[in-house]
A and B are shown apart, each in its own frame.
Chain A
Amino acid sequence: MAGEDRSRFTDLELIARSRAGDRAALGELLHRYSRWIRWACLTATDRRVPQVDMEDAMAATFRSTVRSIHGLRATTEAEFRAWLRQIARNETRAVIKPQATELFDPMDEAQRPDRSRVDPSPDLAERFADQDALRRCLESLRRKSVDHYRTLILYANEDPSSQLAAELLSTDADQVNASTARSWLKRAREHMAGCLGLDSDDGGEIVTLRARQG
């Protein structure tokens, strides 16, 4: 089937062809899902993923997908995405190793953001220009809830639909639905607003805590 235009195939058709050994179809499928794989890699851990690690994780995901495609049993796109997401997570976690030792005490005062350093000025542009404060608040959010942290970072970088966010934030142990994803975003934003010293009268566009409707 040399020269066949595989871009006209649906995802399910490409999946079926890939499983049957059509490598060009698999290449098209990987291209089509490359953005998805990137999302999955970047939401796989509670840590920031540097560019070089992200590339390693994606490349490893491609290789693992090629290696495993013959055993894929997915018959729906949702099953395929779940399968692909798991591969991406496994590979990313293999690349992004956990810290050697982490004895984190969530009640440790030294780990808390220094609220006294938060500028009480209502000028939002100035507030967000204080990258140290923002960084401390992000870290405190990560320590408080990895789920909320990942949700905030996901929305900040990709602005996905709630349904897409839910898929990316799901794990084998916990299936996240769109409502939960929106709730996590709301809580993350509330934490950040509180940590940054923003209250309900401080910047209407902040406290509306926009959550996209799926």
Chain B
Amino acid sequence: MAPARDPLLDAVRAEEPWPSIDEAWLDRAIESALESEASALGPASRASADVRGEPLDRLLVAVRDLVDEDTEPDGGWLDAAIAVALAEPELGPAVLAAAEDRRRGDIDERWVRMARTLPAAAASGTALPRAVATDVDESVTVTCVEDADGRVVLRIDATERREVLVHCRWRIVSTAGSRAGEVALFTPLAATRQGFAAQYAIEVSADEDIELAAPRWALASELDDAAVRAAVTDAMFGLARRAWRAACDDGRLTGPIRLLVEELLSR
């Protein structure tokens, strides 16, 4: 017997209809996928892909050893992956690098997500973000979360997965009024490849709202000099403002980084 008509679902369906699927398009899309991959993965590139996949495959074997045969992949695999990452934190970059090379397969992406979320989850528990802001290019995201100790921190995620200098303004609003501030954070390469995010604690109580402005950022790719990088890193965390200024003055900081730093110094 056909189910009774439901006017509410009918109305929702009329308002938000799903896109239809065209059989001819479907045939072409599947054919295209099969053909494009066949031509893209010739013998040489396939061998290369296999080599790049080795670290991931080794890790997957290690994870599999921790997983019962009957474990459902979604839950068990992730738990096991986290267990491996906790036990062997140095595996994180290798996992992510392999995953990046192979791009968005299911297991690959699980590793990527695990690698990205693990430090954040450890730092923030399961608390929902208090506020989120993304730059116009969606390359850098600043998230306001509570960490395990109850501190409210700003966390930065950079999709570029390169060294990024980020500047973000925040405003806290309460019945007593509002207060504002800003912060510059520097996410080093190794950290972002592991999904780390620079963090900065701010004082926000439970009944206060926080607003984040869209962050500004610049790549730190020109920071080849380790000493400059260290100085900028310190400066970004407010430890060595003089080193920051010196790096600007003697020309070691150039390009967008310098512009951003000078803007911050001028405030």
A, B: real partners? yes
* A residues with CB within 8 A of B: 23, 26-27, 30-31, 34-35, 38, 42, 48-51, 54-55, 58-59, 62-68, 71-74, 78-79, 82-84, 86-87, 90-91, 94, 97-103, 105, 124-125, 128, 131, 134-135, 138, 152-153, 155-159, 170-173, 175, 189, 192-193, 203, 205-206, 210, 212
Interface of B is mostly: helix
Question: Residue B10 contacts which of A26, A50, A128 (CB distance < 8 angstroms)?
Answer: A128
How far is it, in angstroms, between the C-alpha of A35 and the C-alpha of B36 when the chains are bound?
A: 22
Interface code B22-66, partner A: CB below 8 Å = 1, 0 otherwise? 000110011111101110010000000000010001001000100
Contact A175 to B33, CB < 8 A, known contacts A156-B13, A203-B7: no
How far is it, in angstroms, between the C-alpha of A58 and the C-alpha of B4 when the chains are bound?
A: 32
How far is it, in angstroms, between the C-alpha of A97 and the C-alpha of B57 when the chains are bound?
A: 30
Tell me if A102 and B132 are in contact (CB < 8 A).
Answer: yes
How far is it, in angstroms, between the C-alpha of A138 and the C-alpha of B260 when the chains are bound?
A: 42
Contact partners of B37 in chain A: CB under 8 A: 63, 66-67
How far is it, in angstroms, between the C-alpha of A43 and the C-alpha of B108 when the chains are bound?
A: 21
| Interface residue tally on B, bucketed by range | 35 or more
Given contacts A48-B16, A98-B134, A159-B3, 7 further A-B contacts (CB under 8 A): A59-B29, A63-B37, A67-B37, A83-B107, A86-B74, A94-B104, A205-B6
Contact A34 to B21, CB < 8 A, known contacts A23-B38, A58-B29: yes
B121, chain A: closest CB distance, angstroms: 10
Tell me if B29 and A62 are in contact (CB < 8 A).
Answer: yes
Instruction: List the 3 closest pairs (A to B, CB-CB), nearest first.
Output: A68-B105, A62-B33, A128-B11
B74, chain A: closest CB distance, angstroms: 5
* B residues with CB within 8 A of A: 3-21, 25-26, 29-34, 36-38, 41, 53, 57, 60, 64, 72-75, 78, 102-110, 113, 131-136, 138, 209, 211-212, 214
Contact A87 to B105, CB < 8 A, known contacts A31-B26, A65-B33: yes
Question: Residue A155 contacts which of B9, B14, B135, B212 (CB distance < 8 angstroms)?
Answer: B9
Number of A-B contacts (CB under 8 A): 172
Which residue among A50, A79, A90, A94 has the maximum number of chain B CB atoms within 10 Å of its CB? A90
Q: Identify the closest chain B residue to A63 (Cβ).
A: B33
Contact A59 to B32, CB < 8 A, known contacts A87-B105, A134-B15: yes
Contact A193 to B36, CB < 8 A, known contacts A67-B105, A212-B3: no
A93, chain B: closest CB distance, angstroms: 10
Which residue among B41, B72, B212 has the maximum number of chain A CB atoms within 10 Å of its CB? B72
How far is it, in angstroms, between the C-alpha of A35 and the C-alpha of B20 when the chains are bound?
A: 10
Contact partners of B4 in chain A: CB under 8 A: 205, 210
Which residue among B3, B12, B26, B38 has the maximum number of chain A CB atoms within 10 Å of its CB? B12
Contact partners of B20 in chain A: CB under 8 A: 51
Tell me if A172 and B9 are in contact (CB < 8 A).
Answer: no
Tell me if A172 and B78 are in contact (CB < 8 A).
Answer: yes
Tell me if A82 and B72 are in contact (CB < 8 A).
Answer: yes
Tell me if A135 and B15 are in contact (CB < 8 A).
Answer: yes
Contact partners of B34 in chain A: CB under 8 A: 23, 26-27, 66
Contact A134 to B75, CB < 8 A, known contacts A62-B30, A210-B4, A210-B6: no
Contact partners of A153 in chain B: CB under 8 A: 12, 16, 18
Tell me if B110 and A54 are in contact (CB < 8 A).
Answer: no
